Every structure is written in structure tokens, then in C-alpha cells.
């Protein structure tokens, strides 16, 4: 085996020794280059001497021990650094947890404040609704009182009309009685003029019949007018009833809306309670997770401590094995030295035997070297296995640390997502509150408009009733005037008849002419009356048409208002949808930015 001098320490080594020694630091090619270029071969005088081997092996053992000590120190330093890093990470985690708890407390306080504000708003709204209901009830009571007063007035008018009719009938009966008495007196006085009187009586009878017919016609007209009035009153009552029904329907709708609002509020409260419960559950889960993590960390720490203890034990065992090996090597070296001394003595004594012994010794040395090489190889394999185990342990620790870091990052991300969700929920709650307030304002406006419309309708109805009453009064005045005129005419006729009876036959012709004239006048009067009645009917029809037109206009206005309201609601819905879309886009952008930051 060729030996060469290593310039690092000046010792002579074989290629196998150097390759084993420098295997961890350099590759085979580098070692080969170092062997061929820098390591010098031994001189021929010293190449034969084998006494240099023991000190070279001792140096190698010392160098190996130094390297192992350095590696152990480095491993200890690395472990200490890892422990420090883990402690720092634990402290950071604790600080983060404290910050999260503070944030959660702040959020809970804010939520409580929001709930209190919502409750105050709800109380205010309830008070306003109660006030509105009271106002509506007062209005309904006033309307009922007005209707009762109107009904009483109408009843009084009907009673007055009935009394007037009775008085007219009594007057007519009295007149008839008076006429009969006058006729009897005329018959007694004018027995001689029976024929003339009969003719006069016939004429009078005809006139009476005509008068009776006229009276009957007037009565019929009056009845018809009364019927028309009654029909109008019924129509008005029906309209009032319809209006009342509409008001009741409106009130029912309002009540339904209020109920729906209350239900919505209850649903919102339930949702809030559910959210609070969910938040509490999430907090509990987080606390449980934190406890689990702490337990895991403690277990990991215990495992690490156990691993460290095992490593220390293994290191101690290795050190003991190395010491034993070193002791064995020293003993072997001592034995070799003793053998060499004996050999030298034998060489001095027997030079011839030295050659044989040298051959034997070389053989023995080769065997020993082989054994040493095998032992060194075993040691190296053990060292490599131990190094691999240490590397695997370090890798496992690094993986565990990475997993812990990933878990921490995931927890942070979850917390951030939860915070974002809470913010979104708060924003949604605020938006819902604003929408509710807007709806309430709109409903209040609608109620005010409906009340104004109802008041306008009532005013119009009152005006119509007043006009009808005025018309009725005018009609009654006209009838009274007509009755007075008839009475005056009858009185004039009676006076004329008395004059005719007193004057004699000459005045009969004049009377006949006068009667004819009177008949013509009556006919003219009848015609005038008929014209007046026709005019009145036309006026009534026109009034009815005006009322119908007004009703149509009101209906059209209501329809237009409804359409406007629907358009407003659609616009508001569209705006809300747009806002929601914008919010979603902003959220997506934020998420993308966060993802980009995380990737960076």
C-alpha cells in the first residue's frame, strides 16, 4: 500500500485513510486530485519503516473527536435557537390572541349599542303609530257624528214636508167644504135658474175635475221629486258607506302592514339572536381550538423534550462507545508498540528471521488494517445512520413548525374572514334599517295623502249636500208660491162666482169668457210648471254627470299615484341591487388584493 505525506499535518497516510477522513468535506474527485497533486510520496528509506502508522491514527482519532465535538456544539446551538424561536412564536401567538379577544369585546360592545339604538327606534315608531291610530279614531268619530247630524237634518226635513202636505190637504178639504156650502146656498137662492146653475155647476165640476187632476198631477210630481230625493239620499248613503268601507279597508291594510312590520322586526330580532348565538358558538369553538392548540403545543413541547432527552442519551451512548473504541485502539496501539519492540529486538538478534517475520507482520498488518478498515466502515455507517436520523428529526421538526405556521395563518385568515363577514352583516343591517325608515316615511306620506283625499271628498260631499238642500228649499218655495197662487186664484174664482150669481144672466157670458181665459191661463201655468220640472230634471242630471266625472277624475288620480309609487319602488329596488353589486365587486377586489398580498 502506497503512503504519502499530507501537507495539512505532515503525516503519512494511504489513499483509503485520506478518502475516509475527507469524505464528509470533499468529493472523490477532489480527494483524488489532492492525493495526486499535493500529497508527496515518502522517501524510499522511510517507506519501509511502519513505525509512523500509530501516531497518524491517533491524530486522525483526535481530529475526528474535535469534529464530533464541534458538530455537537453546533447541534446544541441550533436546538437552543429553535427553542428561542418557538418561545418567540408562542409569545406572538399569545399577543395575537389577546388582541383578538380585545377586538371581540369591542365588537360585542358595539353590537350592544346598536341593539339599544334599534330598540329605542322601535319604541319611537310604536309611539308614532299609536298617535296615528288615535288621530284616525278621532277622525272616524267626527265623521260618524257628522253623518248622524246629516241624517237628523234629513229626517227633520222629511217631517216638515209631511206636515206641509197634511196642511195642504186640510186646506183643500176646507175649500171643498166651503164650495159645497156655497153651491147649496146658490141652489136655494136660484131655484129659478136651475138650468143656468146646472150649466154653471157642470162647468164648475169640470173645473174642479181639472183642478183635482192638476192637484193629482202636482202630488204625483211631488211624490216623484220625493222619490228622486230619496234615491239621491240613498245614493249618497251608499257612497258614504262605500267610503267608510274603503276607509276600513285602508285601515285593515295599514294594520296588516303594521303587523308585517312587527313580524319583520321580530324576524330581525330572531336573526340577531341567532347571529349572537352563532358568534358565541364561534367564540366557544375558537376557545376550544385555542385550548386544543395549546394542548398540542404542550404535547409537542413534551415530545421535543423527550426527543432531546433521547438524543442526549444517544449522544452519551455514542460518546461512551467512542471512548471504549479509543481505549481499545490505545490498547491495540500499545500492544503493537510492544510487538514492534520485540520485533526490533528479534531483528537485532536475528536479521535473517526479520525478513520472514516482516512478511508475517505485513500479513498480520494487512489483516489488522482490514479489520480496522471494517471497524471504521462500521463506525462511519453508524455515524451516517445517526446523522440521517438527526436530519430526519430536524426535518420532522421543521415540518411540524411549518404546519403550525400554516395553521396560524389559516386561523388568522379565518378571523379576518369572520371580521369581514361581521362588517358586511353590520352594513346590511344598517341598509335594512335605512330601507325600513324610507318605507315608513313613504307609508306616512301615503297616509297623509289619503287623509287629505278623504277630507277633500268629505268637503265635496258636504258641498253637494248643501247644494241639494238649497235646491230642495228652492223647490219648496216654488211649490209654496204655486200653492199660494192657486189659493188666490180659487179665492178670485169664488168672488167672481158670487158676483156672477148676484149680477144675473148678463154676467154669465162674461163669466164664461173669464172661465175660458182662466182655463187658458191654467194651461199656460201647467205648461210653465212642466217646463220648470223638465229644467230641474235636466239640472239634476247635469249634477249627477258632474259627480260621476269628479269620481272618475279621483280614480284616475289614485291610479296615477299608485303608478308613481310603483315606479319609485322599482327605482329603489334597482338602486339597491346596484349598490349590492358594487359592494360585491368591492369585496371581490378586496379578496383579490388580500390573496395577492398573501402570495407575495
CA dihedral angle for residue 3, residue 4, residue 6, residue 11, rounded to 10 degrees: 50
Provide the pLDDT for residue 59: 64
Q: What are phi and psi of 192, to 5 degrees?
A: -75, -30
CB-CB contact of 522 with 210 (8 Å): yes
Provide the pLDDT for residue 51: 34
> Residue 92: which of 529, 408, 462 has the closest Cα?
408
Measured from the Cβ of residue 501, the count of other Cβ atoms closer than 10 Å reads 20
Provide the pLDDT for residue 61: 64
Distance CA 67, CA 457 (A): 110
Distance CA 175, CA 488 (A): 12
CA angle 263, 269, 270 (to 5 degrees): 90
Q: How many residues does the chain have?
A: 600
Provide the pLDDT for residue 49: 38
With the C-alpha atoms ordered 38, 41, 42, 44, is the resulting torsion angle positive or negative? negative
Provide the pLDDT for residue 54: 36
Provide the pLDDT for residue 55: 39
Domain ranges of the chain: 1-42
Question: Which residues, 6+ apart, have CB-to-CB distance to 357 below 8 Å?
Answer: 343, 346, 347
Residue 577 class from Cβ within 10 Å (0-12 exposed, 13-18 middle, 19+ buried)?
exposed
> Residue 240: which of 160, 353, 169, 143 has the closest Cα?
143
Question: Would you write out the chain's pLDDT as a tens digit for each of its 600 residues?
Answer: 788 988 888 888 898 988 888 888 888 898 999 898 889 888 654 443 333 343 355 566 677 677 778 788 888 888 888 888 888 888 888 888 888 888 888 888 888 888 888 888 888 888 888 888 888 888 888 888 888 888 888 888 888 888 888 888 888 888 888 888 888 888 788 888 888 788 888 888 888 888 888 888 888 888 888 888 888 888 888 888 888 888 888 888 888 888 888 888 888 888 888 888 888 888 888 888 888 888 888 888 888 888 888 788 788 888 888 888 888 888 888 888 888 888 777 777 787 777 777 787 788 788 888 888 888 887 888 888 788 787 788 888 788 787 788 888 888 788 888 888 888 888 888 888 888 888 888 888 888 888 888 888 888 888 888 888 888 888 888 888 888 888 888 888 888 888 888 888 887 888 888 888 888 888 888 898 888 888 888 898 898 898 888 888 888 888 889 898 898 888 898 898 889 889 888 888 888 888 888 887
Distances (CA, A) of 587 to 415, 573, 583: 16, 21, 6
- Residue 244 carries which DSSP code? H
Provide the pLDDT for residue 47: 40
Cell of 174: 176646507
Provide the pLDDT for residue 60: 65
- Residue 4 carries which DSSP code? E
Buried b / exposed e along 46-75 (16+ C-beta atoms within 10 A): eeeeeebbbebbebbbeebeeeeeeeeeee
CB-CB contact of 168 with 490 (8 Å): no
Distance CA 454, CA 142 (A): 13
CB-CB contact of 16 with 373 (8 Å): yes
Phi-psi region of 40 (alpha: psi -120 to 50; beta: other; left: phi over 0): beta
- Residue 22 carries which DSSP code? T
- Residue 24 carries which DSSP code? T
Location of C-alpha cell 288621530: 135
CB-CB contact of 186 with 197 (8 Å): yes
Going across the sheet that includes 40-41, the strands are 12-13, 4-5, 40-41
With the C-alpha atoms ordered 424, 430, 433, 435, is the resulting torsion angle positive or negative? negative
Distance CA 379, CA 65 (A): 13
Amino acid at each position: 500500500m502506497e503512503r504519502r505525506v499530507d501537507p495539512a499535518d505532515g503525516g503519512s497516510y494511504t489513499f483509503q485513510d485520506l478518502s475516509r477522513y475527507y469524505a464528509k468535506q470533499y468529493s472523490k474527485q477532489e480527494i483524488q486530485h489532492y492525493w495526486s497533486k499535493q500529497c508527496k510520496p515518502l522517501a524510499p528509506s522511510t517507506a519501509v519503516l511502519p513505525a509512523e502508522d500509530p501516531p497518524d491514527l491517533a491524530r486522525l482519532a483526535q481530529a475526528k473527536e474535535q469534529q464530533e465535538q464541534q458538530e455537537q456544539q453546533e447541534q446544541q446551538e441550533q436546538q437552543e435557537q429553535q427553542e428561542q424561536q418557538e418561545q418567540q412564536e408562542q409569545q406572538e401567538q399569545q399577543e395575537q390572541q389577546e388582541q383578538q379577544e380585545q377586538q371581540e369585546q369591542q365588537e360585542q360592545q358595539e353590537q350592544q349599542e346598536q341593539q339599544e339604538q334599534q330598540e329605542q327606534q322601535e319604541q319611537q315608531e310604536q309611539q308614532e303609530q299609536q298617535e296615528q291610530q288615535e288621530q284616525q279614531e278621532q277622525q272616524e268619530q267626527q265623521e260618524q257624528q257628522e253623518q248622524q247630524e246629516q241624517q237628523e237634518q234629513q229626517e227633520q226635513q222629511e217631517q216638515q214636508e209631511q206636515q206641509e202636505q197634511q196642511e195642504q190637504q186640510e186646506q183643500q178639504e176646507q175649500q171643498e167644504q166651503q164650495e159645497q156650502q156655497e153651491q147649496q146656498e146658490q141652489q136655494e137662492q136660484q131655484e129659478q135658474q136651475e138650468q143656468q146653475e146646472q150649466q154653471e155647476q157642470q162647468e164648475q165640476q169640470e173645473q174642479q175635475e181639472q183642478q183635482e187632476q192638476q192637484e193629482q198631477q202636482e202630488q204625483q210630481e211631488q211624490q216623484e221629486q220625493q222619490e228622486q230625493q230619496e234615491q239621491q239620499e240613498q245614493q249618497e248613503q251608499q257612497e258614504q258607506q262605500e267610503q267608510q268601507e274603503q276607509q276600513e279597508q285602508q285601515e285593515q291594510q295599514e294594520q296588516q302592514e303594521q303587523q308585517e312590520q312587527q313580524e319583520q322586526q321580530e324576524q330581525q330580532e330572531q336573526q340577531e339572536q341567532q347571529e349572537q348565538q352563532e358568534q358565541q358558538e364561534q367564540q366557544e369553538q375558537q376557545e376550544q381550538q385555542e385550548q386544543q392548540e395549546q394542548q398540542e403545543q404542550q404535547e409537542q413541547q413534551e415530545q421535543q423534550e423527550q426527543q432531546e432527552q433521547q438524543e442526549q442519551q444517544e449522544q452519551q451512548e455514542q460518546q461512551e462507545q467512542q471512548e471504549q473504541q479509543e481505549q481499545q485502539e490505545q490498547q491495540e496501539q500499545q500492544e503493537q508498540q510492544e510487538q514492534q519492540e520485540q520485533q526490533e529486538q528479534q531483528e537485532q538478534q536475528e536479521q535473517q528471521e526479520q525478513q520472514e517475520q516482516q512478511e508475517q507482520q505485513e500479513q498480520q498488518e494487512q489483516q489488522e488494517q482490514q479489520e480496522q478498515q471494517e471497524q471504521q466502515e462500521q463506525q462511519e455507517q453508524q455515524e451516517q445512520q445517526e446523522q440521517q436520523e438527526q436530519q430526519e428529526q430536524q426535518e420532522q421538526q421543521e415540518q411540524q413548525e411549518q404546519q403550525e405556521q400554516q395553521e396560524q395563518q389559516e386561523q388568522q385568515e379565518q378571523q379576518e374572514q369572520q371580521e369581514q363577514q361581521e362588517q358586511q352583516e353590520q352594513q346590511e343591517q344598517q341598509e335594512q334599517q335605512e330601507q325600513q325608515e324610507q318605507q315608513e316615511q313613504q307609508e306616512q306620506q301615503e297616509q297623509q295623502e289619503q287623509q287629505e283625499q278623504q277630507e277633500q271628498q268629505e268637503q265635496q260631499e258636504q258641498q253637494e249636500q248643501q247644494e241639494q238642500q238649497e235646491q230642495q228649499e228652492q223647490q219648496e218655495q216654488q211649490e209654496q208660491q204655486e200653492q199660494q197662487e192657486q189659493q188666490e186664484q180659487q179665492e178670485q174664482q169664488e168672488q167672481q162666482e158670487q158676483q156672477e150669481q148676484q149680477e144675473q144672466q148678463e154676467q154669465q157670458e162674461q163669466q164664461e169668457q173669464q172661465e175660458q181665459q182662466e182655463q187658458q191661463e191654467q194651461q199656460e201655468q201647467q205648461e210653465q210648471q212642466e217646463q220648470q220640472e223638465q229644467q230641474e230634471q235636466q239640472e239634476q242630471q247635469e249634477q249627477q254627470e258632474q259627480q260621476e266625472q269628479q269620481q272618475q277624475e279621483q280614480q284616475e288620480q289614485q291610479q296615477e299615484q299608485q303608478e308613481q309609487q310603483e315606479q319609485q319602488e322599482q327605482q329603489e329596488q334597482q338602486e339597491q341591487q346596484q349598490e349590492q353589486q358594487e359592494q360585491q365587486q368591492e369585496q371581490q377586489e378586496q379578496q383579490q388584493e388580500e390573496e395577492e398580498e398573501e402570495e407575495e
